[in-house]
Structure formats: C-alpha cells, structure tokens
Structure 1
C-alpha cells in the first residue's frame, strides 16, 4: 500500500491544484465557522449539493448560530427541514445545539473528541469540521474518497466490510496533507464528486492517472467493491384526509419508525396493497370511523411512491368528508384545513397537498 514516512502526501499537490481551478463556489467554503460547516455537512450527508444549497441558505437565514437553533421549537426546526428526508438529522442537530448551548455556552467545541461526542456526528463529520474549521489533521472518508482511493490503489477489499473500513481509514490518514488538511480533504472529496465519477470517470484528463493502478489495469469502473446490498422492503400506507367543514385531523409520528416528529393524516398501514373496499373491512378502518357519518369518499385515491434506502413506501391518500366526528378522532390533533401548511410533513404528504388538496380548494 502506501506508507507516509515524511508527512508529505504524494497526491496533495495535484489534487489541490485541480481543486483551486475546478471547485464549486459554495457558501460554506467561504467560512471557517464550525457551526455553518456543521450545518452544511449534515445537510449533505444524504442530499445532493444542488438540492441542499437552497435548504442550507434558508436554514442558516433562520438559525444563524447555535443559540438560535437551540432556542427554536422542535416543530419549526422540522418544518425548515421538510423535504430533505432522513429527519433524524434534524432531530440530532436540534439536540446537539441545545447540548452546546448548555455545556459550551453556545460555542462550538474545538477538539476532535468533543466534536465527535455531539449527537449525530460520526467520524467523517467530526473530521470535516475539525479540518475545515481548525486545520486539525483528521482525514475525511466519504463515498467519494472510497472511490478515489480504491481506484488509485486498485483495492479489492469491500468498502462496506469491517476490514475495508479500517483499511481505507488508515490509508486516508496516511495520505493526508498535514500541512493543509482542510483544503486537501475538500479537494479529495470534490475530485471524487466531479471528476473521478462512479460511471465514465474522466481518466483521460486526470491529474492522477499516472499514479492510478485501476487506470493502468483498464478497470476503473470495477472499483470500489461492496460485499452486501441492502434488502429493500415495500410498505403500504393508506392515509385519510378527513374533513368536517373547515377542520381536519393530523397527528405527529412517534416511536423509532421513519419520519418521527413529522405530522400526517390518520394512517392505516396494510401488509399488502388494498383497494378501498378491502381497507374498509380492516379493524383499523372500522375503529377509526366508528360513530362517524361519512358524506363522501374520494374513491379514486391520490397514489404516490417514495423510495428510501431500506423501504419503498407505497401510499394512497383518500379525501373524506364527514358530518360529525367520532370518539377515535379525539386521539388526533384537530386543525383548520387552511393551516396544514404550517406543519412539517413527509414528502409524500407534501405532494398530496400540492397536487390534490390545492386543486380541490381552487374549485370551491
């Protein structure tokens, strides 16, 4: 492999030169503020830069520092995160901000160990914050780094294995430019994102092609290797937008399931896809609508599908008008129909509200 005996990175000069010419102009690259770098890194964990940029600007505008985020209401934080998905990131951000407000008087900690101890921050994010903000010598290892290093050294150890994670972490730290760790880390990740692409990498114009073993073998797209593929399971959600004059009912998801702390309409989850007649025969439907006089049900639901990393959510939204509420609706929050937009919801519900409910309102 490679052993760095004199603390000089063999790839840093080419990478940093490439980076200074080709890097994207992004707002978090114009600051050493660890708070803003933290927010950007959390947003970009599961989000493309093109999508995350607007969210970052909006989030920072409302929560410009640790104290403003710590003092915010949970529902407001979730509303600002709405549409980004992986909502545990927002919950962890909020919890970490409150922790820093209490323990560090609203200041960001300055050691790698302390940063790593914040909720929702793993080794990669801690290394990014500490190297970008404080110039500390910690290597960042993300998907782009895995790809670049596996090709440079033609490493056939799966990146998702325990052995692979240890190997790549060690190699990344050996290659780290300790004199300029922040810019080097950003250069390596940007190089993977824009140049050393998963498909059709730009090998013919690559500043590292002379050092790349995968390129010499003509097998760049073989790397990196993975040992496992997540099993994606389907789930079937049947939502009921129940309307009584200008009122409707929602509730906040709890527990450890997806979309925790987001709001949704009454939900009946089934183990397979069902039509309305079948759903109406389920115990959940009978319980929900006990004592309710139904005036009208939109029998053709709004159907949408949402693919998560480990689940495919198949959702149907039924709009139902009633003349009186039943006792089981007491478990839900009764709100004005016009105020639905004030609550943070999952992308599926947002899609229904945009494409169906707004259309219904416009025809009234």
Structure 2
C-alpha cells in the first residue's frame, strides 16, 4: 500500500473538492444536512442505484416527513413505501431505529459515529456517512465506492470481502480526509466511484484525480479492489398458483420472520414440499399441487399450467425459479387457508415483493392504482 506525504494529501484534497464543488450530483438529500434525510437516503442506497432511489426517497419524505411520523407508521404502509426496493428488513429496522430515537434519545440524533452505531440498523458505513455529512465529524464512510476508489489510488491489495479489511481502509482514508469538509469529501468519493472509477468500465483517462491513481498509472486498475467471489445463490424451485375467486385474488401473507416477511403473494409452494418422484410428469405435479391444497388448506382446487416461461428471481443466498399455474377453487371456504381473498383495488394498497410483481407481469396481470 502506498502512503502519501502531507503535500500529496493536501493536493488530493484540493483537487477532489474543487471537482465536487463544480460537478457534484444535485440530489434531493444533499440540499440540507438534516441527519434524518441523510439516514433515509443512505439506507435506501444500499443495494440500489441512485436514479432508482430518488422517487422512493421523495415519496418516503412525503409520507413520513419526520422521525416521529416514521415511528408511528402502520407496518402495511411502511412496507408499501418500500415496495420494489427489496431487503425489507432495512425499512423495518428503520422504524425500530426511529422508535429508539424517540424513546431513548428524546428524538435527538447522536452526533458521533460511535453513538450512531448504537442505533438499530446503523452499521459502520451509515454511521460514518451521517456523522460526517450531518455533523461534520471527520469519519470515513467506507462502502463499495470507497473500497474501489482507494484500493486503486493507494494500491491496497487487502481482500475487501473480509470484514477485517474495513479497518485497513478506515485508517488509510482517515489520514487523507480533511477535517474541515469531511462530509463533502465522503460524498465526493461516492460520486467519483459511480462515475470515473466504476467497477468494470472506468473512465480514468478523464478523471479529475487521474494523476493520483497509482493502479491506473501502473496499468492494472481492474485488478483492484481485490475481492474473493461469493458462493453462488442456492437454486430453489417453486410453484406459484394464481387462483381467482370471482374478480378477487387468492393471496397469502408471508410469515413475520424469514424472507419477504409480512409481504403478500399468491400461494408459493416449494417444489420440494410436493414430494415428487424423480421421474414425475407434469400431470403428477398438478396432482401433487391439488393434494397439497387439500392437505394444507382443506381446499379443493383444480390447476392448469400457464403457458409462459418460469419466473426467476435472485436473492443474496437463493435463486428462485417459479413455475406459474392457474387455479380454480371448487370450494370457497377459506377457514383453514393461510391468507384471504384480495380485491384488485385492495391489492394496489398492500405491500407485495418484487418477485410477486414479476409473477403478475409474466401472467399478464396489470396492477393499476
């Protein structure tokens, strides 16, 4: 790893911040330094692109303009606000955090990264971002952009997939970070990492910090950051049953724990639960689905395959492949069914996951507000 001298650090700070002052992105959460605004935007930006986040952020602020509004929000409306962003545990933790702020901190945000890290759902990166942007604390915000930018600038070859590597980057960045504009510095690194110093097709030849990028100067920029590959997501096969009761849909609410907790879907049956033989035919599968509904829900159901491609959806650790079936209820007693009938107008108000949106889209079902 390269260590810059004081003159190089000062030169880098000036170059980076001058560029940021002229070219930094105009984003709605950057128009003030309110910690609530910083926090919401940073949580939304995890795993999600900036342009996707903007309308979600603006709607979230319209629905929940203060920490108190977020703390008091009904879960159904909270999940609806997050619908499409995925990783729903993030927004549930946000509400827990909001309630913690009101109960334990009198609604006041801690102003240090250490204090912020005591709050539910706030990890080292988010704590650093809030502390630096909202409270002008000189704390690095180390995310994927920071790993990529500084691994190339300083040729840090530590494996960024290992948790202990964060400390190496935090120490390296802390030496370079200015004490007078730490928030702007962190946001400039975010902008740099998403523009000139992207993962696969960097445009370093036009980068404002090209002359500081040692990996680029050495011709091995794409070798950084060093990162071991994650294991492939486990394949899991499902059958989705799209059954109507008149104009209503037969829907289930996912359990309160586990994947897609409390979100609404059509019945999703793991193929493994159908206990099919290895040489089972398509007719065998339909019969097994009918038997499953009778056994689990005491419902008589006839099912037919839908002549469309299966839906695929990848989570962090699983990749779902979902075959779509249409269903017709012979009986309508839902006393033992883990769900209920949902009207089309109600469906637009319920929180449904992205995978359910894909199922409806593949089946040609249009959801209209």
**Fold-level match, TM-score > 0.5?**
yes
The TM-score normalised by the length of structure 2 is 0.88
Q: Corresponding residue for 1:281?
A: 288
Whether the 8 Å CA contact 1:85–1:346 is kept in 2: the answer is: yes
Residues 234-264 of structure 1 deviation map (CA, whole Å, 9 limit, x = unaligned): 1122122332224443232225432112111
**In terms of mean alpha carbon deviation, does 152-161 or 263-272 score higher?**
263-272
Q: SS of the residue aligned with 1:231?
A: coil
Alignment deviations for residues 107-164 of structure 1 (CA, whole Å, 9 cap, x no partner): 3333323311111110000110111011011111111111111111122221112442
- Post-superposition CA distance 1:195-239 (Å, at most 9, x none): 112123222223323222212211111111112323211112212
1:350 and 2:357 are equivalent in the alignment? yes
Asked whether the 8 Å contact 1:239–1:315 carries over to 2, the reply is yes
1:160 counterpart residue number? 161
Contact 1:302 1:318 in 2 (8 A): no
Q: Does 1:333 align with 2:334?
A: no
Distance (whole Å) between structure 2 residues aligned to residue 326 and residue 287 of structure 1: 14
Q: 1:22 and 1:227 mapped to 2: Cα distance?
A: 33
Could you tell me how far 1:8 is from its partner in structure 2? 6.0
Long gaps (5+) in structure 2:
none
Q: Which residue of 1 aligns with 2:300?
A: 292
RMSD of equivalent CA atoms: 2.7
Instruction: State which drifts further: 98-107 or 348-357.
Output: 348-357
Deviations, residues 322-343 of structure 1 (Å, cap 9, x unaligned):
2423566433233334422221
Q: State the TM-score, normalized to the length of structure 1.
A: 0.89
| Candidates 316, 328, 333, aligned match of 1:309 | 316
Residues 253 and 260 in structure 1, CA contact (< 8 A), matched pair in contact too: yes
Instruction: Please give the alpha-carbon distance, in whole angstroms, between the structure 2 residues aligned to 1:329 and 1:266.
Output: 14
Map of 1:209 onto structure 2: 210
Q: Any idea what the Cα deviations from partners look like across 1:79-116, whole Å, max 9, x if unmatched? A: 11000111111111111112212223333333323311
* Bigger mean CA offset, 118-127 vs 301-310: 301-310
Aligned twin of 1:260 = 261
- What SS is found at the alignment partner of 1:201? coil
Which structure 1 segments of 5+ residues have no match?
A: none
> By how many angstroms is 1:175 displaced?
1.4
**Counterparts of 1:10 and 1:279, CA distance in 2:** 69
Matches within 5 A, 1:90-239: 90-239=91-240
Change (3 A) 1:71 1:208: same
Tell me if the contact between 1:144 and 1:192 (Cα under 8 Å) persists in the aligned partners: yes
